Amino acid sequence: MDHMLVSSWFHLNSSVPLSYVQPPESRPGTVSVISGKTIPVVDLGGHDHGEILMNILRASEEYGFFQVINHGVSKELMDDTMNSFKEFHGMPEVEKISESSRDPNGSCRLYTSREINGEDCIQFWRDTLRHFCPPSGEFMEFWPQKPQRYREVVEKYTQEVRALGLKILEFICEGLGLDPKYCCGGLSESPLLLAHHYPPCPEPSLTLGTPKHRDPNLVTILFQENDINALQVFKDGEWIVVEPIPYAFVVNIGLMLQIISNGRLIGAEHRVVTNSGIARTTIAYFIRPTNTTIIEPAKHLICPSSRLIYKSITFEEFLKIFMNKGPDIEPYLLL
Contact 124, 273 (CB under 8 A): no
According to DSSP H, which parts of the chain are helical? 6-9, 49-62, 75-90, 93-99, 150-176, 255-260, 315-325
Q: What is the mean pLDDT of residues 178-190?
A: 95
Predicted confidence at residue 29, as pLDDT, reads 83
Residue 2, pLDDT > 50, answer no
Between the CA of residue 99 and those of 47, 87, 138, 147, 286, what are the distances in Å? 44, 13, 17, 9, 22
Q: What is the mean pLDDT of residues 313-329?
A: 91
pLDDT in tens, 227-266: 999 999 999 999 999 999 999 999 999 999 999 999 999 9
Predicted confidence at residue 118, as pLDDT, reads 61
pLDDT in tens, 72-85: 999 999 999 999 99
pLDDT in tens, 45-71: 999 999 999 999 999 999 999 999 999
Mean pLDDT rounded to a whole number for the chain: 94
d(CA 188, CA 185): 6
Predicted confidence at residue 3, as pLDDT, reads 53
d(CA 325, CA 329): 5
The pairing of beta strand 41-43 with beta strand 65-69: parallel
Predicted confidence at residue 1, as pLDDT, reads 37
Residue 92, pLDDT > 60, answer yes
pLDDT in tens, 108-158: 999 999 876 666 689 999 999 999 999 999 999 999 999 999 999 999 999
Global pTM value = 0.96
| Range with lowest mean pLDDT among 91-100, 153-162, 286-295, 323-332 | 323-332
Predicted confidence at residue 33, as pLDDT, reads 83
Q: What are the boundaries of each domain within the chain?
A: 2-332
Instruction: Return the percentage of the chain with pLDDT > 70, whole number.
Output: 97
Q: What is the mean pLDDT of residues 195-212?
A: 96
Q: What are phi and psi of 243, to 5 degrees?
A: -70, 130
pLDDT in tens, 273-320: 999 999 999 999 999 999 999 999 999 998 877 889 999 999 999 999
d(CA 170, CA 168): 5
Strands (E), 113-230: 127-132, 192-198, 210-213, 219-224
Instruction: Return the percentage of the chain with pLDDT > 90, whole number.
Output: 88
Return the CATH class of domain 2-332.
mainly beta
